[in-house]
Chain A
């Protein structure tokens, strides 16, 4: 792709030297009120797009295509965070400028655009990706070009990179505590696992099965997968009726959810007769499913829009002020909101925009104003966060039922679960 660049590396180099030269007189006069903003030469030794007044970051999500449904919330949350940071004066005295790229729900496009952001635009960080497939597509590029990606989605784990900060939960943070809760509070011994047929549901259910069989000494009475977009679950529902599990454990993704819950209700499986726990339904999905079809079922997440704490109240208010009173905020949207804030905190801790310094400084960076309460980056670049159980209400929200007493340590490579 390099031959499509408008400028050769030499030309770029020259440009940057000129910019640097222009900045020098100002940088040399800290007494003139630039004390808060350290000189560019000091905070940017790797030729990133950082000037005395501005730092450029990239945003890479699907604004079109089939994933636009899910990624829109993340785009909005990241934009909100960046606006708020700019209103507070930016990062190291520099305003954040965003270059938006559209991955168009197509993984090679994600790879191409990430290369553009890193090589052409020299962005200091990228907030983006949603599906595991898109993350896997850009990962080699971020590692080769030494970029920094803040990735918001809860995902299957089994990955760790110097160049990625995972602001969502990895599999064990979402699954294990939820299953323990189901076992202890709901006396669930037998589980029926259902998922959409691709990597995240399958890996999640694999971990769930190991935990159920080895730790809880329970039984998995069925495990079924259906293609993404599948709309006919009647036979499956009859199978569930025949198997009579204590708990239906659902990892159904996307539009299939609507059919699945509508048909469950139509087959007479409602919350008063059956316990159901899911890790794939957030407020965003409930908007499509309709709260009346799911009322009473449970989900295990780290964030619900209804969380009652001052941070979250402020966040929800700001989000609705910007995107309308009807906007809903799901788990991933909140995780996306954390990205820019964590990056800001890390840059300020490192005193530099350089990717290597950020990667090294990330450990133990905290964000005390997180809507989910409090988060901290682990050495393995995942977040310490809590797990929570919410019960779905008829108006498409969740009622908080339980939360883990402590922050759960992220463990992307769990032993005994592979």
Chain B
């Protein structure tokens, strides 16, 4: 194998790592808000991703049927729609279920797990028990080949850009907006936040809904790399919790760093040894680090 070929593969492998990083980060972001900021263990997070993915599938089916001319343009719109639908579902869920359980974290875990099973069965009964995948616009398919032998996947680039955008928006919202201020106040001291006139119930509802909305965006983006089935959500949930917990629950920066660390260890491991061994090594490393630092990589300074 020539030197330039080795360089090509090294470059593509580097991009594979970055691509996995963006996937993990996008998965973890919504959860970082719900679990990290609110402390709600939302086992149905994966199903909110599935809502987003199914939205894209519906949009694709409808576009094909009624407006085939828009086939190349529907995708960004579908992502916005995915956010809106998942946001609405999250809002409803918080009102109906979660708000009654804020002081009982273990019951929340059970309730949201039940919710996730119920949602899976709904997908299965009302949409399809088979896995579906939307027809993607041509510009999202294939690879970008700057030179012979070097192929950068376009869907990977797309997910990377989307992740960067969503992360930036979340950071801005959390640290520069009134909502972010209220959220952070509620997180650090709920009683005091209440006392100074912050409507913590409203804040909670909005926060939960935004977290779910971001999950919807993640699900929508993942239709470019995988399929969507009734149980797709349960595949994502473990990785999402892993990223958030490892990064330090309340820290958004922690989530970013942890997603990067996990993705690089995993993808480098996969390349040099086998896939299953790479997973073993990654998970063992996480266990060891969490034993040394139970609070995760980045702990927020909160007076308990």
Residues on A facing B (Cβ under 8 Å): 64, 66, 68-69, 72, 197, 224-227, 229-232, 234-239, 241-242, 254-255, 257-259, 262-263, 265-268, 284, 287-290, 292
Distance to closest chain A CB from B194 (angstroms)? 42
Query: Could you say which of A64, A224, A241, A259 contacts B225, with CB atoms under 8 Å apart?
Result: A259
B109 proximal to A (CB < 8 A):
no
Q: Does B155 lie at the interface of the complex (its beta carbon under 8 Å from any beta carbon of A)?
A: yes
A242→B16 contact, CB < 8 A: no
Known contacts being A69-B229, A234-B20, A267-B143, is A289 close to B275, with CB within 8 Å? no
Give the chain A neighbours of B222 by CB distance below 8 A.
Answer: 231
Which 10 interchain pairs have the tightest Cβ spacing?
A: A258-B227, A268-B151, A266-B153, A234-B16, A235-B270, A68-B129, A259-B226, A231-B226, A288-B131, A268-B143
Q: How large is the interface on B (under 10, 10 to 19, 20 to 34, 35 or more residues)?
A: 35 or more
State whether the Cβ of B135 lies closer than 8 Å to any Cβ in chain A.
yes
Chain A residues within an 8 Å CB radius of B143: 265-268
CA distance A238 to B11 in the complex (A): 10
Give the Cβ gap from A117 to chain B, nearest Cβ, in Å.
Answer: 23
Of A231, A234, A288, which one neighbours B132 at CB under 8 angstroms? Answer: A288
Q: Report how far A197 CA is from B227 CA in the complex, Å.
A: 19
CB of B145 to closest CB in A, whole Å: 6
Contact present for B124 and A64 (CB under 8 Å): yes
> Bound complex: CA of A262 vs CA of B230, how far in Å?
20
> CB-nearest residue of chain B relative to A232?
B20
Which of A72, A254, A290 gathers most chain B CB within 10 Å? A290
A240 to B259, CA, bound (A): 25
Report how far A69 CA is from B231 CA in the complex, Å. Answer: 11
Q: Is B235 an interface residue (CB 8 A)?
A: yes
Which B residues lie at the A interface, using CB under 8 A?
1, 9, 12-13, 15-17, 19-20, 23, 121, 124, 129-133, 135, 141-143, 145, 151, 153-156, 222, 224-227, 229-232, 235, 266-267, 270-271, 274-276, 278-279
In the bound complex, do residue A242 and residue B227 qualify as a contact, i.e. CB atoms below 8 Å apart? no
Query: Chain A residues with Cβ under 8 A from B154's Cβ?
Result: 266
Q: Is the CB of A290 within 8 A of B133?
A: yes
Q: Which residues of A sit under 8 angstroms from B20, Cβ to Cβ? A: 232, 234
A232 to B267, CA, bound (A): 9
Residue of A whose beta carbon sits closest to that of B232: A255
Contacts of A237 in B (CB 8 A): 16
Measured in the bound complex, the distance between the Cα atoms of B133 and A238 in whole Å is: 24
Known: A66-B231, A225-B275; 9 extra A-B contacts, CB below 8 A, are A230-B275, A235-B266, A235-B278, A238-B271, A242-B1, A263-B153, A268-B145, A288-B130, A288-B132
Candidate in A72, A227, A262 with the most chain B CB atoms within 10 angstroms: A262
Q: Is the CB of A236 within 8 A of B275?
A: yes
Query: Are B13's CB and A238's CB within 8 A?
Result: yes
Contacts of A239 in B (CB 8 A): 270-271
Cβ B235 vs Cβ A231 within 8 A: yes
Selected from B17, B23, B155, B271, the residue in CB contact (under 8 A) with A262 is B155
- Given contact pairs A232-B20, A239-B271, A255-B232, A69 touches B121 in the complex (Cβ within 8 A): no
Q: Which of A234, A236, A258, A292 gathers the greatest number of chain B CB atoms within 10 Å?
A: A234
Report B-chain residues with C-beta under 8 Å of the C-beta of A287: 130
Q: Return the chain A residue nearest B155 by Cβ.
A: A266
Assess the A234–B9 pair: CB atoms within 8 A: no
A263 touches B225 (CB 8 A): yes
Report which of A225, A229, A292 forms a contact with B276, defined as CB distance below 8 A: A225
Partner of A224, one of B13, B129, B151, B275: B275
Would you call B275 and A238 a contact (CB within 8 A)? no
User: Is the CB–CB distance between A238 and B12 below 8 Å?
Assistant: yes
Give Cα A337–Cα B253 distance, bound, in whole angstroms.
56
State the CA gap A64–B145 with chains docked (Å): 43
Most buried by B among A68, A231, A257: A231
B residues less than 8 Å from A255 (CB atoms):
131, 226-227, 229, 232
| A114 to B23 Cα, complex, angstroms | 42
A-B contacts, 10 of them at CB < 8 A, read: A64-B129, A66-B231, A197-B276, A227-B276, A234-B16, A235-B266, A237-B16, A238-B16, A239-B270, A262-B155
- Of the candidates A68, A235, A259, the one whose C-beta lies within 8 Å of that of B13 is A235
Across the interface, do B16 and A265 meet the contact criterion of CB distance under 8 Å?
A: no
The one of B23, B135, B225, B270 that contacts A236, using a Cβ cutoff of 8 Å: B270
Give the complex CA separation of A66 and B130 in angstroms. 9
Docked-complex contact B155 and A258, CB < 8 angstroms = no
Cα A51 to Cα B9 with chains together (Å)? 69
Q: List the A side residues contacting B17 at CB < 8 Å.
A: 235
A266 to B135, CA, bound (A): 15
Inter-chain contacts of A262 with B (CB < 8 A) = 133, 155, 224-226
